[in-house]
Structure 1
């Protein structure tokens, strides 16, 4: 039995997307909570719930159901946060992108027949495999193969996260320098 990706890649991509959209003025605690939410959203299709995740891959990885769930979660988040200092549309949009990133990333792995993301409308499968991504094995979970899969995901998606962190730091630094120059 195999699964396309480990949670490592999804989590790092969720962090990268969250890092792009988290407001700079958030407190450290608010940033941590927000980034944790982005990690959770990026892993949402694999949550081990009854009738969800790998129990019902067709359901949890359907673009149609994903968009419907995103709409529900976005409406709840908007209602809950609308009148607080923590509300920002970029967080809602970023959360949707983090959730949707899961489907895209699952199409990048060799060892699967593709992702049937158009269920229940179609059984068509999307497969965009990259040669360095292979599937993880669930049995045995602890193996040299899985260690390699984890390491490749950590390196690839960790590099994306590092680029995002550096780009955000440079952009913030540039914005501060511009605002200091204009204040003079």
Structure 2
């Protein structure tokens, strides 16, 4: 899996790129949480559920179906999020689904059940440059954790920063922009 730090990059970039009256800071905070939510499935290890099970790590919680259900649920709270319902659905879906896509770019694990419940197979993307992150906070603060952060810096943080900066600059040039 990619680290929690890398997973938050996608909603941060979306917030910077799409910031408007339709997208409130509350929605960004929710999206940041949703970008990490699929890894709640690591609890399956404690319950004795095997990794390769559809209920195991990188199983159903890493699917586009799960992301859509979560996004629909979050959309019910659009007023409390002070954001347009379409924006809530899209940002929530992107945040949650991006988790699976980043994990599918890692060089370890069994892949992600991207198309669950319609397909039980686990997938990786053709290009897998991100070092797989160790599970657990203690294991992350090791030499391996530094290698993970280095690969995420190159493949997630820097591209995310460039996209956010370009989007911010583009929005600044728009008439009546309130960046």
TM-score bin (small chain): 0.7 to 0.9
Higher RCO (CA 8 Å, separation ≥ 6 residues): 1
Question: Quick one: distance in 1 between partners of 2:90 and 2:9?
Answer: 18
Aligned residues: 165
Is 1:35 the counterpart of 2:32? The answer is no
Conserved 8 A contact 1:22-1:34:
no
Superposed CA offset, 1:103-157 (max 9, x none):
1111111122321233343321211153531212237433111111022213432
Task: Structure 2: state its 5+ residue gaps.
Answer: 46-50
Q: 2:3 aligns with which of 3, 6, 25?
A: 6
Q: 1:87 aligns with which of 83, 87, 93?
A: 83
Question: Runs of 4 or more off by more than 6 Å in structure 1?
Answer: none
Matches for 1:33-182 after TM superposition, within 5 Å: 33-47=26-40, 56-57=56-57, 58-74=59-75, 76-78=76-78, 80=80, 86-88=82-84, 89-138=86-135, 140-176=139-175
TM-score (norm 2): 0.74
Superposed CA offset, 1:85-120 (max 9, x none):
x22233431222121111111111112232123334
Question: Quick one: distance in 1 between partners of 2:155 and 2:40?
Answer: 23
Conserved 8 A contact 2:131-2:148:
yes
Question: Quick one: distance in 1 between partners of 2:68 and 2:101?
Answer: 14
Alpha-carbon distance, 1:45 to partner: 0.8
